[in-house]
Amino acid sequence: MAKRAKKQKKARENLDIAQRYDFVEGVKLALDCSYARFDESVDLAVRLGVDPRRADQMVRGTVVLPNGTGKSVRVLAFAKGEKEKEALDAGADYAGSDDLIAKIQGGWLEFDKTVATPDMMGSVGKIGKILGPRGLMPNAKLGTVTFDLAKVVKEIKAGKIDFRVEKSGIVHAPVGRVSFGAEKLLENIATFIETIVRLKPAASKGTYIRTIAISTTMGPGIKIDPTNVKALLT
């Protein structure tokens, strides 16, 4: 424990908290500052030049990270008949209709993501007050209400994440694990940033991407120079 803390302290001595690094340097520093016993998550925080209180400046979407998130995601599908079988064959951990709804009403919540066919949403609405506050409600805007369950389930299992700008104008997203290494993390970060740039609202004026920070679960926040985005995406 003492040896690990000593290494962590030494690594942080090389970190200038006031400096803005490019993406390659930032990822390397984040990895160098990680000394936890577990495989830490690597997270990105991007502050945007938008006013989330205005509907025309809301930034929300989904993205499939090329190298996944490193987290095992338990997927539940609300479906009947052939669609139930389709979801299970695609990798869903649970699939069903009224039986699952009753189970959830009883307090069961052993899943991380949900998908549903459109015809099931009337029934799923009965548990909206349970799923909604936990961010577990299927949402057509995020592509989780669809008849193409196989495609969506496979994407979620492969590393699809959804994101939404917070009231403070910041978007948070997991982009992998320390064990991924710099190359895979940079690929995931580039894919996420590219999606954010593509979703820029027409009503957003001035600088769009204002600040970027990368951090591991136990590590410090490392500032990234937002002017480096163009170089990342080329």
The one-character DSSP state at 203 is T
Tell me whether residue 63 is in a domain.
yes
What value does the CA radius of gyration of the chain take, rounded to a whole number of Å? Answer: 20
CA distance 223 to 25: 10
pLDDT tens digits, residue range 17-38?
Answer: 778 999 999 999 999 888 788 9
From 158, 183, 216, give the residue that closes a domain: 158
174 and 220 share a domain?
Answer: yes
Domain hosting residue 96, numbered range: 75-158
pTM of the model: 0.83
pLDDT computed for residue 30 by the predictor: 92
pLDDT value at position 141?
87
Q: Do both 41 and 140 map to the same domain?
A: no
131 and 97 in a common domain: yes
Low-confidence residues in the chain, pLDDT < 50:
1
- Say which CATH number the domain at 92 has: 3.40.50.790
The confidence score (pLDDT) of residue 181 equals 96
The pLDDT score that the predictor gives to residue 234 is: 82
Do residues 50 and 166 share a domain? Answer: yes
Residue 10 lies in a domain: no
CATH number of the domain enclosing 169:
3.30.190.20
CA 164 to CA 52: how far, in whole Å? 10
| pLDDT at 34 (0 to 100) | 84
Q: Which of 113, 133, 158 is the last residue of a domain?
A: 158
- How many distinct structural domains can be found in the chain? 2
Residue 5: per-residue pLDDT: 60
Residues 118 and 185 in one domain: no
Domain end call among 105, 138, 158 = 158
**Are 213 and 178 in the same domain?**
yes
Angle (nearest 5°) at CA 40 between 39 and 43: 145
Could you give the strand order of the β-sheet that contains 94-96, starting from the edge strand earlier in sequence? Answer: 94-96, 75-78, 113-116
Query: Do residues 167 and 217 both lie within one domain?
Result: yes
Residue 27 CB burial class (10 angstroms; 0-12, 13-18, ≥19): buried
Check residue 1 and give its pLDDT. 46
Q: Is residue 40 part of a domain?
A: yes
Same domain, 79 and 138: yes
Of the candidates 147, 135, 132, the residue with the CA atom closest to the CA atom of residue 77: 147
Quick check: is 118 in a domain?
yes
Residues 99 and 113: their CA atoms lie apart, in Å, by 17
- The DSSP call for residue 225 is -
